[in-house]
Structure 1
């Protein structure tokens, strides 16, 4: 097999490569840490994302499964399994959909809403401590501003395409 010619980015990573690599590595570390927090409450990270989506969607804390797929990026088969588990734990309830008799809406229960609030409190405390150990306050503020700018710009670009 012929040896491939080295690319410039493989010898000395450029800024973009370093950013993407750093974002992925950091995301994985935070994901693992946050997943452990959710697990202490008896839910998976993806189940927490479903509960959080319901908590912050509207005053009725209700969404369709299709809206939940979009909000959490879970598959339809994975969503069905998650919703069964969350229903069995009394964290969500299934309701008839007045606009579509073939589907059922998902509503967060009071127990589910309370759990979301507790998990978020723990996540804020855990991540505040995590980042404070790594970056001084002024760097955290600057990083938050840069990430917000990056995210909003990428979202705008996606809407235009």
Structure 2
């Protein structure tokens, strides 16, 4: 299976955390199997959507699952040492019909002022150990790209930007 989900982590001190990706546009990025994100605005009242008393937006830590690799020990160290990443980029890519072409990202995430909140690893005798980890951050951006015409080039459709530390839309 071709990897289509990549993470690039840039530390404030110590340079990037290098992964095992070999895809030409994402060389040395971390290959991940899944990513998760949740945004919610909780209501203090029961009832329909017209209920008053909505609380602040709650942005969850971003969660990841990946296989143990070259990035794992620096990621473990970042979790216990509290290292700050200036920026984390996440690209979810669409595979190309051309095997020689680079994968095109169609969902692009950018996290700023990031810390590894949790890190865990599980394994058995039959498979490569799997790791799960979460990131907390001060701001988050997400762009969605799609072709306007079938088979056409990808173009930005819309975006989401949120300043988690201030609880407001980012500019």
Q: Same fold (TM over 0.5)?
A: no
TM-score in terms of structure 2 length: 0.24
Considering fraction of residues, name the structure with more helix: 1
Considering fraction of residues, name the structure with more strand: 2
Radius of gyration: which is bigger? 1
